[in-house]
């Protein structure tokens, strides 16, 4: 080490152009000699390997972003390099990313977010007063009057109060306590069925009887399309079932900016309401959330706008209502279109799409296709979806990633593409499925 340091020191002084080349060459030769006397060191094995890592992490599977999506990415790169395919683009129908599929943002939400992010705009006449009012309230509750302050990142109390008020209104006066509200990152996956009140009662009774903790994903509470269905919150039904249930069944329910009519996946905003949690466990939850820090403050602010939208008489109410109804109306139209077209295809059965933003059709897979899938060490519906991707460019999720009933096969597909593009997707699936049945008959 001393010799190496000396070499460095000798090479540090000012040099003339003629002496620099000689000294550099000499220093390199001496350094090489030093390295030659050192024993060859082999690289030791990595400490963190598949064998040494936490097996619970290795066991995690997420079908929505699994092998199908990786293959879709490879195909997209091949298309960019000019490799010819029987299609010109990959259509990612695997996830519910509304705005990536062309859904327009809700103007009022974006206006308030712009004002919160850049408060100088509060003086601009281009923004409506009700948007400014909400932005000022959020900013005043933030430490330093900025979404970027650390104290703001710890959770804005006014947003928790707004969430509690929203839940109370939604549930017909069943009270919500802001202390039971936790702001979270928001996202969700789902299918397309709306649970009836009777179904929810049965689930609650089962949880009470078996002493289970209930988790209710309610991010699609606005996405109800069937005229015979309506959204029932688990909390409201729980309270209406009487104190034997409402005082004992432990429940956590969730909502998000990512779905609904908003489709703001990028903000990662959401909330969780927890009922009947043991005080000591609540303390552990707070500790865990504190260690994890918090969701982005911009996401918290977006969630506040979702639960505190314009009301009748405010400047933005009419435009907000039009945009919300337009989004939900288009989704209802596409839900019916998808159901009808799938049910015209031999070997495909699609139940009514009552809500959310996905279809989950059941598909018939011939025995020879099942055997071919086994030969490739794939689940039959994974094999089907991979072939669909490779032949049409349509990326969907195999039903085996959702715990489907044994012996049945499905895939999940979003209904978010614009109507004309959705028609193209459905026609391609129809043509592929008929050819698939013929090939493996």
For 334-343, the pLDDT digits (tens) are: 999 999 999 9
Contact call for residues 30 and 4 (beta carbons, < 8 A): no
- Domains parsed from the chain with CATH numbers: 61-101+320-440 (3.90.1150.10), 150-309 (3.40.640.10)
User: What pLDDT is stored for residue 110 in this prediction?
Assistant: 97
Distance of CA 60 to the CA centre of its chain: 16
**Quick one: tokens of 270?**
């959401």
The DSSP result for 110-123, as a single string, is: HHHHHHHH-GGGGG
77-87: per-residue pLDDT in tens? 999 999 999 99
Q: How many residues does the chain have?
A: 441
385-436: per-residue pLDDT in tens? 999 999 999 999 999 888 888 889 999 999 999 999 999 999 999 999 999 9
Instruction: Return all residues near 135 (Cβ < 8 A) that are at least 6 apart.
Output: 112, 115, 116, 119, 122
Looking at the DSSP assignment, which residues form a beta bridge with residue 398? 411
Listed range (11-15, 33-37, 150-154, 221-225) with the worst mean pLDDT: 11-15
Contact call for residues 381 and 410 (beta carbons, < 8 A): yes
Distance set, CA 186 to CA 220, 235, 298 (Å): 12, 19, 12
- Assign 3-state DSSP to the chain and report helix, strand, coil percentages, each to 5: 55, 10, 40
* Phi and psi at residue 414, to the nearest 5°: -75, 150
Distance of CA 176 to the CA centre of its chain: 26
In angstroms, the first-to-last Cα distance of the chain is 74
């Amino acid at each position: 080490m001393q010799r190496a340091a000396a070499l460095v020191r000798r090479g540090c002084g000012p040099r003339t152009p003629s002496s620099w080349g000689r000294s550099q060459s000499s220093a390199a030769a001496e350094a090489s000699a030093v390295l030659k006397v050192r024993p060859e060191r082999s690289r030791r094995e990595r400490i963190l390997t598949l064998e040494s890592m936490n097996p619970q992490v290795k066991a995690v599977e997420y079908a929505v972003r699994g092998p199908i999506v990786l293959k879709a990415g490879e195909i997209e790169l091949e298309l960019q390099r000019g490799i010819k395919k029987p299609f010109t683009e990959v259509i990612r129908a695997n996830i519910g990313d509304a705005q990536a599929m062309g859904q327009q943002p809700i103007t009022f939400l974006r206006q308030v977010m712009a004002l919160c992010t850049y408060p100088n705009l509060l003086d601009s006449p281009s923004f409506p007063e009700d948007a400014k009012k909400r932005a000022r309230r959020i900013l005043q509750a933030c430490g330093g009057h900025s979404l970027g302050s650390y104290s703001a990142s710890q959770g804005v109390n006014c947003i928790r109060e707004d969430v509690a008020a929203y839940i109370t209104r939604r549930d017909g006066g069943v009270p919500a306590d802001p202390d039971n509200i936790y702001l979270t990152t928001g996202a969700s996956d789902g299918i397309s069925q709306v649970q009836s009140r009777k179904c929810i009662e049965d689930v609650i009774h089962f949880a009470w009887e078996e002493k289970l903790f209930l988790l209710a994903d309610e991010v699609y509470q606005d996405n109800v399309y069937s005229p015979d269905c309506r959204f029932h919150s688990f909390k409201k039904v729980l309270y209406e079932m009487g104190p034997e249930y409402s005082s004992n069944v432990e429940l956590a329910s969730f909502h998000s900016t990512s779905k609904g009519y908003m489709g703001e996946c990028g903000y990662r905003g959401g909330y969780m309401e927890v009922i009947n949690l043991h005080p000591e466990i609540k303390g552990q939850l707070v500790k865990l959330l504190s260690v994890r820090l918090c969701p982005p403050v911009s996401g918290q602010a977006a969630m506040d706008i979702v639960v505190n939208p314009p009301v009748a008489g405010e400047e933005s109410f009419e435009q907000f209502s039009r945009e919300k109804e337009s989004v939900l109306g288009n989704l209802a139209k596409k839900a019916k279109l998808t159901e009808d077209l799938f049910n015209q295809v031999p070997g495909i059965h699609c139940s009514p799409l009552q809500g959310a933003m996905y279809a989950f059709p059941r598909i018939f897979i011939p025995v020879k296709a099942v055997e071919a899938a086994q030969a490739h060490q794939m689940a039959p519906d994974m094999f089907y979806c991979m072939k669909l991707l490779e032949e049409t460019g349509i990326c969907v999720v195999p039903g085996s990633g959702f715990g489907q009933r044994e012996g049945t096969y499905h895939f999940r597909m979003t209904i978010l593409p614009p109507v004309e593009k959705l028609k193209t997707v459905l026609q391609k699936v129809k043509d592929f499925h008929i050819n698939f049945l013929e090939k493996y008959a």
